[in-house]
Amino acid sequence: MTAQIDIVSLYPNDMNIYGDSGNVLAVRRRLELYGYKPVVHAYNQGDEWPDHADIILGGGGQDNGQKKITEDLFARADLLRSLADDGTPMLMICGLYQLFGDYFETVDGTRLDGIGILGAYTVGQDKRMIGNLVESSPQFGTVIGYENHSGQTFLREGVEPFGRVDHDGMGNNGEDHTEGARVRNVIGTYLHGSLLPKNSAVTDFLIRTAATRRYGTFPEEQTSEQTEALRALDDVESRARHVAGSRPR
């Protein structure tokens, strides 16, 4: 029987901009090619939580979209915190990255409390930070994506960034060269784009972590067609990286 991996897509109705849903497609496709059966659960406000959550993916949104989901996010906060403590791999982009931190004070002065999984806080400003971004991460190497946010995020003491932006891009706040945050297997980042189709090292980290936690091994047996298709996908990925990385702004 094919080993199933359950992916939860968090609030896709309100939190999904600049191609973030591509992250779900990338995880699903690579899981298939590694020999797994991916099942995607779209979770919106008021939905039932699925029985299994092996990988949790969340996207960005307008300040308004963030306001809309806050109440439900708080209703799920204990669950998400215990999954994070337990090592569940998660990827939160931009708007949900901010709400996985301590709080986001929007540019109009509204304070949206976060669920405190990532030690960070965010303050909105008038100037937006927009453009392709190239960062380096000790674990994932060069990571390429697209940022578009007004919030400036600051990491609490001792919290690891996801990566460092040395030249091309603003990152968390345009001041300290950090980008994103990483706590246990939870990654928060400003990178849209979509991120995962261009950065398979990150996709494979999420998949490997999820599969090993649930089944103890990775990967499943692959057919030669699957291996071949994975190589073809890697080729498309490297061309996409090349294009995005060569026009950072």
Given the complex with ligand GLN, which of 90 and 94 has the nearer CB atom?
94
Q: Token digits for 184?
A: 């246990």
β-bridge mates for residue 9, sequence order: 42, 57
> Among 146-154, 158-166, 230-238, 239-247, which window interacts with ligand GLN (CB under 6 A)?
146-154
**Shortest Cβ distance from residue 231 to ligand GLN (Å)?**
33
Neighbours of 211 (CB within 10 A): 23
Report the SS3 class of residue 232.
helix
> Are residues 182 and 160 in contact, defined by beta-carbon separation less than 8 angstroms?
yes
21 sits near ligand GLN (criterion: CB under 6 A): no
Given the complex with ligand GLN, which of 126 and 221 has the nearer CB atom?
126
Contacts with ligand GLN in 38-67 (CB under 6 A)?
Answer: 60-63, 66
Q: 177 an active-site residue?
A: no
Distance, CA of 215 to CA of 213 (rounded, Å): 6
* Residue selected from 28, 30, 68, 149 as contacting ligand GLN according to rule CB under 6 A: 149
> Among 35-43, 144-152, 205-213, 236-244, which window interacts with ligand GLN (CB under 6 A)?
144-152
Q: Token digits for 31?
A: 């899981």
Nearest Cα residue to 131 out of 3, 247, 10: 247
How many residues touch ligand GLN under the rule CB under 6 A: the total is: 12
Nearest Cα residue to 98 out of 76, 115, 80, 122: 122
| Residue number closest to ligand GLN, CB atom | 60
Q: 192 an active-site residue?
A: yes
Strands 181-183, 4-10: pairing is unpaired
Q: Give the DSSP H/E element, type plus range, for residue 92.
A: strand 90-93
> Are residues 180 and 189 in contact, defined by beta-carbon separation less than 8 angstroms?
yes
Q: Which of 41, 52, 94, 177 is catalytic?
A: 94
Distance, CA of 112 to CA of 122 (rounded, Å): 10
* Residue selected from 21, 150, 222, 226 as contacting ligand GLN according to rule CB under 6 A: 150
* Residue selected from 38, 145, 151, 180 as contacting ligand GLN according to rule CB under 6 A: 151
First CA to last CA distance, the chain: 47
Contacts with ligand GLN in 190-249 (CB under 6 A)?
Answer: none
Q: Token digits for 163?
A: 């990566």
* Residue selected from 19, 38, 89, 95 as contacting ligand GLN according to rule CB under 6 A: 95
Given the complex with ligand GLN, which of 148 and 226 has the nearer CB atom?
148
- Per-residue binding string, ligand GLN, 101-140, x by CB under 6 A, is ----------------------------------------
> Rule CB under 6 A: which residues touch ligand GLN?
17, 60-63, 66, 94-95, 148-151
Catalytic sites, residue numbers: 94, 192
